[in-house]
Amino acid sequence: MVVSRKWLLNFGFMALAAPVGLAVILAALHMLGAINIWIYPLVHIGIFCLFGGTSCLVAAQVVDSRPSRTEPNSRRRRQLGWGLAILLVSLNFPAYLLSYHMTHVRLPGQIGIGVPRPTHAQLPSDRGLFYATRTIPISQSRWIETWEIPAQTLEARGTVLLFPGNLGTKSSQLISPAQSFAQMGFNTVLMDFQGVGGSSGSTVTLGVKEAQDVVTVFNDINNRNAVQSTQDSGRENTPVILYGVSMGTAAILRAIATYDITPDAIILELPFVRLLDAVRSRLRYHKIPTAPTASLMIFWASIQHGINGFSHNPISYAKAVNCPTLVIHGEQDKWTPVEDIEALVNSIPASKQLVLSADAGHHQLIGVDRPLWDASVGNFLNNI
């Protein structure tokens, strides 16, 4: 009995510790580009180690449940405590690494945890668009970079501020919409959230702190419009519209609800409803158990960035919207189902429109069905 119990204890401890060491090694190889971590059956290995190790520790206690002189109760409690501690580390350490990796960026070629920093693959001039680069300072070490594209009409109808999705840049997600907005007669301001493109920073918070970037750009354009109106007394104020993609929609809604900005209209493309649901859907796609992984990831990301990710719910922010709203979504979106989008739209108290594309997934509609995007956006803006 003593030999069997020791064997069970040793195997249980090793099985519980294995996922931690395995996660560190595989994460390092993945960061170096040596392997693709997602092609390995990590979920099955992790489940086997966690549940197998726990079962061995429980079995070890059952094998010899009577106290003995050689195995006093204090030693058993100590062993059980170590087992529970290893179990907690095995659950939390991979979640900590994964949340850190998904919310931090690193420079190209830099070794470390985090996704490669997104850069610009094209410029507006590649599409024949005139543009100017502008930097909005936040502090001595923080700034936001924007591209400003003028309206392609004699007189601008207003200004559209464009905000990209998670790890998207003004180059990868905003040039095509800006081109259409410019053709419709709107000046456009394309921006990079901090952590991507030409802006400062090295972190991403899925729209929480990005809301402050929305406020910064919105206040900047309002201040410039106010100065121009003062210089030109006959000039009327033109509307300021906010356009966001995915994470950009969450940042817009949070900026309205938390910082009380007042745009004249907003266009939300591919929004998500709750951060926890968004994380769960992505874990489910990669065949990773959502419980408790999603909650642990949000918990550790909240600790790392000093935020509360569990309260980051755009469907709650939407209740503060008091301007005309257009929501664009794809029925094939694997991250956010249509019923969630309909619930978000219904929570907006102001006038709203919902445009659904039967063919689009989690991709901007302008790249799937540009005529539908242009017609939907054009009709919406004509009624502002």
Provide the pLDDT for residue 1: 42
For residue 360, the one-letter residue type is: A
Cis peptide before 371 (omega within 30 of 0): no
Rounded to 10 degrees, the C-alpha dihedral 229/267/208/97 comes to -140
271: left (phi over 0), alpha (psi -120 to 50) or beta: beta
Please report, for residues 98, 252, 298, the alpha-carbon distance to residue 307 in angstroms, rounded to integers and kept in the order given: 17, 17, 10
Rounded Cα distance between 197 and 183, Å, is 25
Cis peptide before 72 (omega within 30 of 0): no
Rounded Cα distance between 292 and 306, Å, is 21
Rounded Cα distance between 265 and 284, Å, is 34
Three-state DSSP state, 357? strand
Give domain 118-274+312-382's CATH architecture: 3-Layer(aba) Sandwich (3.40)
With beta carbons less than 8 A apart as the criterion, state whether 153 and 185 touch: yes
Residue 19 structure tokens: 């996922």
Three-state DSSP state, 342? helix
Provide the pLDDT for residue 3: 44
Three-state DSSP state, 120? coil
**Beta strands across the sheet bearing 240-245:** 132-137, 143-149, 186-191, 158-163, 240-245, 265-269, 325-330, 352-357
Residue 251 structure tokens: 């940042």
Residue with the two structure tokens 């690494």: 97
Give per-residue pLDDT as tens, 144-202.
999 999 999 999 999 999 999 999 999 999 999 999 999 999 999 999 999 999 999 99
Measured in degrees and rounded to the nearest 5, phi and psi for residue 267 equal -125, 120
Point out which residues pair with 242 in neighbouring strands: 161, 266
Provide the pLDDT for residue 231: 74
Beta strand 158-163 pairing with 186-191: parallel
Provide the pLDDT for residue 64: 55
Cα dihedral sign, 107-110-113-115: positive
With beta carbons less than 8 A apart as the criterion, state whether 64 and 2 touch: yes
Residue with the two structure tokens 């501020």: 161
Rounded Cα distance between 158 and 187, Å, is 6
The tens-digit pLDDT sequence of the chain (384 residues) is 444 667 666 766 777 677 667 767 776 666 666 666 555 555 556 655 666 666 666 666 665 555 555 556 677 677 666 667 676 777 788 888 889 999 999 987 777 788 999 999 999 999 999 999 999 999 999 999 999 999 999 999 999 999 999 999 999 999 999 999 999 999 999 999 999 999 999 999 999 999 999 999 999 999 998 888 777 766 677 899 999 999 999 999 999 999 999 999 999 999 999 999 999 999 999 888 898 899 999 999 999 999 999 999 999 999 999 999 999 999 999 999 999 999 999 999 999 999 999 999 999 999 999 999 999 999 999 998
Residue 16 structure tokens: 């519980």
167: left (phi over 0), alpha (psi -120 to 50) or beta: left
Rounded to two decimals, what is the model's pTM?
0.83
The residues spanned by each domain of the chain are: 2-115, 118-274+312-382
Which residues make Cβ contacts (< 8 Å) with residue 352, sequence separation at least 6? 324, 325, 326, 327, 345
Neighbours of 307 (CB within 10 A): 18
Residue 198 structure tokens: 């030409």
Provide the pLDDT for residue 53: 67
Measured CA angle at 240 (ends 237, 245), to 5 deg: 175
Give per-residue pLDDT as tens, 15-24.
767 766 776 7
